[in-house]
Amino acid sequence: MAELIDLVQQSLSEETIPAYMDRVENQAATLREAIRAGELDNDDFAVGLEMEVYAVERDEESSLADLPQSVFDAGATKELGIHNAEINTDPDVFDGAGLRSQADRIEAAFRAADDAAEESDRLLISDAMWTIAPEEGADSYLSDIEIEDGVTVAANMRTDPRYAAIDNDVLRAFGGEIGLDVPGVDRRFPSILFESLATSIQPHLQIPTAEQFPAYYNAAIRTLGPVLALTTNSPFLPPELYTDVDDPMALVDRTHHELRIAVFEQSVNATPNPKVCVPADIDSAQETIDRVVEDELVAPFLREWIDDEPRDSLAADTWEFQYKRSTYWRWLRCVIGGDPVDGAGDEESLRIEYRPIPTQPTVIDVVAVQWLTVGLLRGLVTTDHPLPQLPWTEAETSFYNAARDGLDADLAWLTSDGERTSDSAVIFEEVFELARAGLRDAGVSTAAIDSYLDGLETRWTERTTPSIWKQNRVRDRLQDGDDLATAITAAQESYIQHSREYDSFAEWL
């Protein structure tokens, strides 16, 4: 604990900022030059994936649980809460074999981590928001803190000094408490830990050249609304957190389909310059470097505080810049570097990290959304589709509409003929056509494409996403006479059971 406190205090010291920013700016200059020189260009597209999950007790209650070390020994990595884990895939070339490899990798990694969890009577849940709290209750779990030498330490947060430094810096900017204001909830927390309510997946798409990067990045911004609308999965919070619900059925009708968006934004957007938001368009790959440098500073860290190994790689040489990029929490961002991909390049690359998607009900659903996302981006650019001409403000509005209203959202789109439309039937027809075109362009077979995208298309034809499924379960229980807490808990128990018994969400419908 003493070491953690010392590192947090160093991070929050005004004396750290000049040295840190000097390194960030110098490293940014190095990266800009590397981009100009073509050093981050590669031979082909590549794909990867991050998948966040949480743990519950392996019993009838299915209440939230901490994760044993064995899960991380099995290959998962630690996340903000002690109940969270992240499962990553090594990247593969964006072709048929590569996407099949991605599917196999994420399945194997999830199973290995889940098997390790089961040995400690835990289950890993593929879901976007937990609602069944541990025995002490959601409020106590999220609000349990100690304050030592002026440093707040959340009891159920990973004891990582960087997490603690971010928490304390954000708390300081908010004035000591952080508010959450969503339908039925208006309350304050003493830590950013309430962000750990939510989990997500992040498909990654490596772009071969810096020259191509802006086209894919700007196109991706215009897809955020429709992709989110098709994947929403977090309409409810733990029932204890609701503070103002006179009419439970009305709450079900007005809750956001994707509460994760509001939870993340409200947990860290402490200044007039929001850190979590839809990013602006770019004209060059170098602009992504500028954006990170200019972004609001949070909890600066110097590499030697936690790592004294030589700086013998691009990642090590630009460590402070990469750390600052890790707090550039836009819903879409550029990642520089990574792992080498046989046939697609080395570890020096440019890739898009697509961040707004909630974790899906099953591994197959997760893989399907990865395929949809990377196929859609490739299809938009390779077909020279006019969607990137959609005004940025309309794309931003479309995204937040999707977070609030799901498939019923007022979405913005330009058709292949350049016609502006908000007709969701037209929009999703083109979304799937473009995703299929992009996957075919990468050499993926029609049979393989159908095996994953058909299930996602069923969500549209049946007008049922995971969030709608949860809302319908809660409505049914309320109509049967249950109170809100009982209804949400029962719906969540059913979700957990279904997510572990069925291969894909489409089989639930």
354, amino acid identity: Y
Q: Rounded to the nearest 5 degrees, what angle is found at the Cα of 385, between the Cα atoms of 407 and 439?
A: 75
Q: How large is the average pLDDT for residues 199-217?
A: 98
- Of the given ranges (25-34, 37-46, 297-306, 335-344), which has the lowest mean pLDDT? 335-344
Output the CA–CA distances (angstroms, integers) from residue 271 to 36, 267, 496, in the order listed: 33, 11, 37
Check the CA dihedral 99-285-221-356 and report its sign.
Answer: positive
462, amino acid identity: E
Tens digits of residue pLDDT in 403-413: 999 999 999 99
DSSP character for 401? Answer: H
Q: Which residues lie closer than 8 Å to 35 by C-beta, 6 or more apart?
A: 210, 285, 286, 289, 350
Output the CA–CA distances (angstroms, integers) from residue 144 to 116, 174, 236, 502, in the order listed: 27, 18, 22, 36
The pLDDT assigned to 308 comes to 87
Tens digits of residue pLDDT in 443-468: 999 999 999 999 999 999 999 999 99
Q: Tell me: pLDDT of 314 over 90.
A: no
Tens digits of residue pLDDT in 179-204: 999 999 999 999 999 999 999 999 99
Tens digits of residue pLDDT in 220-234: 999 999 999 999 999
Q: Tell me: pLDDT of 317 over 90.
A: yes
Q: Tell me: pLDDT of 245 over 90.
A: yes
- Find tokens 């938009």 and name the residue: 380
The pLDDT assigned to 66 comes to 98
Proportion of the chain above pLDDT 90, given as a percent: 95
